[in-house]
Amino acid sequence: MKKVIALLLSVLMLISFSACAEPAPEKTRFTKTYMDYFDTASTIVGYEETQEAFDEKCAFIEKELKRYHELYDIYHWYDGVTNIYNVNKEAGTAPVKVDEDIIALIEFSREMYDLTGGKTNIAMGTVLSIWHTYRENGNYDYFSAEVPPMEMLEKAATHCDINDIIVDKENGTLFFADPDLKIDVGAIGKGYATERIAQDLEAMGVDNYTLNIGGNIRTIGTKADGNGWVAGIQNPDLTSEQTYILKVAFGDLALVTSGSYQRYYYVGETKYHHIIDPETLFPKDTFAAVSILTPNSGVADAVSTACFNLPLEEGMALIESIENTEAMWVEPDGTIHYSSGFENFIHTEE
């Protein structure tokens, strides 16, 4: 009888305490956009109890975006920063002391090189710089636009061995065994930086946020109401009235798309986009876009580039080999292919 009375008292106390407990404050959706990093727009969406709390998180995010942007920039130098631009100029003659986050990116890029069978290769800088120059000239003066000579590309391709990037972790240096090698992290740097920032936020206990860094979307938790974040996947046919091919709903995942519609130029009637196949040294037109859903934004960035250049069957096999990863391929005529679980994420509600 005493045990029954004690149990009843415990239940009554629990009910009493529950009734007295204050409900959790409601969270409000806040948004902030930056235009200064990775040559793109960066939009932060988060749910917080106050504007001040959101601004505090954004101050951290902006500081880190600026830091990674400067470290991974291959086109500009910054006072007091030894970045990849400096590495490309100096590492071919002597080891260069670099920030540990550059070394971490190089090591991650090696992992992605192995994962993608060399289809995502940061050591392709010599080839990519040629295409960049011709593309910029073509965009500046359409009537003088040209395609790089194959002989020039083939010569540059002899300086793209990722094993010639020598990392000395103990001394914190990078050295190029091939003095003509150049690094280009355009296919991986932004996604990797986005992931690192997201992981830092998660370690701080941040929830209910999404980072959209120039189309590299990384969600942290769900929306405040527990529903998944909804994002549209751009229609690569920019002439279509349908802006998005479809929408997906997800949480604690990254969404990244590689497409031929993002950066390109014309030579006559032929379009040459910026995703260069390491084998042919030219852009491929097999797909118009490839979208990846996976937990890690850096992996999503690297794999979307690889799958854009791989035949569909090989790309499918790659996706199925990576845990918790799905993909969607869009052909130039609009034909769509899905990996085995991608359709589970398609958002159909209005």
* Per-residue CA distances from 144 to 224, 268, 272, 273, 327 (Å): 53, 10, 14, 17, 38
Express each pLDDT in 263-313 by its tens digit: 999 999 999 999 999 999 999 999 999 999 999 999 999 999 999 999 999
CA gap 257, 290 in Å, rounded:
5
* Per-residue CA distances from 217 to 192, 194, 204 (Å): 12, 8, 19
Instruction: Assign 3 to helix, strand or coil.
Output: helix
For residue 52 the two structure tokens come to 């001040």
Which sequence spans correspond to the domains of the chain? Answer: 28-49+199-345
* Cβ burial 171-201 (10 Å sphere, 16+ → b, else e): eebbbbebeebbbbbbbbbbbbbbbbbbeeb
DSSP state of 94: S
Residue 24: per-residue pLDDT: 55
CA-closest candidate to residue 211, choices 244, 256, 263: 256
CA gap 345, 246 in Å, rounded:
10
- Sign, CA dihedral 142-282-338-222, equals negative
Question: pLDDT tens digits, the chain, 350 residues: what are they?
Answer: 433 333 333 333 333 333 344 455 689 999 999 999 999 999 999 999 999 999 999 999 999 999 999 999 999 999 999 999 999 999 999 999 999 999 999 999 999 999 999 999 999 999 999 999 999 998 888 888 999 999 999 999 999 999 999 999 999 999 999 999 999 999 999 999 999 999 999 999 999 999 999 999 999 999 999 999 999 999 999 889 899 999 999 999 999 999 999 899 999 999 999 999 999 999 999 999 999 999 999 999 999 999 999 999 999 999 999 999 999 999 999 999 999 999 999 998 75
**213: Cβ contacts below 8 Å, ≥ 6 apart:** 37, 38, 40, 42, 65, 190, 193, 194
- Say what the pTM is: 0.91
The bridge status of strand 229-234 relative to strand 96-97 is unpaired
CA gap 211, 68 in Å, rounded:
15
Instruction: Assign 34 to helix, strand or coil.
Output: strand
Residue 19: per-residue pLDDT: 39
Express each pLDDT in 38-66 by its tens digit: 999 999 999 999 999 999 999 999 999 99
- Sign, CA dihedral 314-258-122-60, equals negative
**304: Cβ contacts below 8 Å, ≥ 6 apart:** 256, 257, 258, 290, 291, 292, 327
Domain 28-49+199-345, CATH: 3.10.520.10
